[in-house]
Chain A
Amino acid sequence: MSYDTSYNSNYGGAFGGGGGGGGFVSNNYGSDGMSNSQGGGDRSISESKSRVRPVTIKQILDASQAHPDSEYSVDGVDVSTVTFVGMVRNVLNQTTNSTYRIEDGTGTIEVRKFVSADRPDSDRIQGPQMGDYVRVIGELKAFFNNKRQVNGNLIRKVTDNNEVIYAQLEALALHLQTLHPERQGGAGGALEETKMTGIQPSTRSYTNENLTSLQRRVLDTLSSAAEQASNEGVNIHVIAQRVGANPNTIQEACEYLSELGLIYTTIDYDHYKLT
């Protein structure tokens, strides 16, 4: 869970700690002619404000398009930036970019990553190799004859293999949440299901006996807070005040709940919202 799980966030921000990221903005839609075939070469970086949607590769391959220039739609929701975890099956290094063939058991897709102009060699030496599981964040593109491809902004090797499992559970949770938003106002639907199968439950009715009473009180406070409706969520100090506890212990409780996926950070690490 080491990438930013707040899907509203500008994913540029999520790159901050990624290391070696710096080059992607300038190289992404450069004058290499790559994108011209679809007339998409002038897309501005402002699009990077779009939400990052966790998907399976099958969902990318099944994504529909109203017409050739429109956004892709997954579960009826427009999607341009996606994230998934898959295994590298082939690497093709070219002058300006590397193309990775990646599969996750649900399908295979090509991910193109532009090479940093100033250090092409180090990118490749440290880059993912065949047989590696990688986390990809990138933008969905179509090329001639509707062949789908992802322009990879981030391709990083998975170091904790739980992420392989978690990534698909997350894609499923989002899928169910999108299809059944009425179920407990969001993640509840998917999480109810995961609860039934014995996965670490992330349920809205926090009967989870694994939570401490402090953690439960934090959840209760968040769910009853008027600020929950805002984009910022609730400040830690406000939570601390309402729960009547030390902000440091609240911070710890929030970090734990965030790891469970029950809450997430918003504008900074001091503000939280329920998922």
Chain B
Amino acid sequence: MSSEITPRANAPLLHLFQGKPVRLIGKVTEVRGETATLDAAGSVTVYATRDSNFKEGNVYEVIGRVQPDLSLKMLDGIDFGTNIDMDNANALAELSQRHHEIFFDK
């Protein structure tokens, strides 16, 4: 998994990566059992791994595979805390689409 390329995505970009792994930075708005909802310029459902302890209000970077319904099956994740500039995170996701040459091959 870790040697795979994980393009940066947010909610509006997920449809471009169905079946592929992505890196998504989002703020947890709801946790229900092993499912979390993240806000990443739109709402994203994340099917968490067993040991992921999502905290509501915190920002996470999730590495996950995009499912057909545009939810994310989480492979890995890291707690980014609460003090993250989401405008920057979303800008990076969008810009890495437009200038993918330094981020991933299309």
* A and B assemble together: yes
From B84, B89, B104, give the contact of A58 (CB < 8 A). Answer: B104
Q: B interface vs A, CB < 8 Å? A: 2-3, 5-8, 23, 25, 59, 61, 78, 80-81, 83-85, 87-92, 94-96, 98-99, 101-104
Size class of A's contact patch?
Answer: 20 to 34
15 new A-B contacts, CB < 8 A, other than A108-B3, A168-B103, A193-B95, are: A56-B103, A58-B102, A59-B102, A87-B78, A89-B2, A101-B2, A106-B5, A161-B61, A162-B85, A165-B84, A165-B89, A168-B92, A169-B92, A172-B95, A198-B90
From A101, A168, A171, A197, give the contact of B90 (CB < 8 A). Answer: A197
From A89, A106, A194, give the contact of B104 (CB < 8 A). Answer: A106
B91 and A197 form a contact (CB under 8 A): yes
A169 and B88 form a contact (CB under 8 A): yes
Work out how many contacts link A and B, with CB atoms closer than 8 A. Answer: 86
A133 and B78 form a contact (CB under 8 A): yes
B96 and A168 form a contact (CB under 8 A): yes
A267 to chain B, nearest CB (A): 30
Taken together as a complex, chains A and B put the C-alpha atoms of A182 and B27 apart, in Å, by 38
Taken together as a complex, chains A and B put the C-alpha atoms of A63 and B39 apart, in Å, by 36
DSSP class of A's interface residues: helix, strand, loop or mixed? mixed
A75 to chain B, nearest CB (A): 9
B88 and A165 form a contact (CB under 8 A): yes
From B6, B61, B85, B91, give the contact of A194 (CB < 8 A). Answer: B91
Q: Which residues 162-198 of A sit at the B interface, judged by CB distance below 8 A?
A: 162, 164-166, 168-169, 171-172, 175-176, 193-194, 197-198
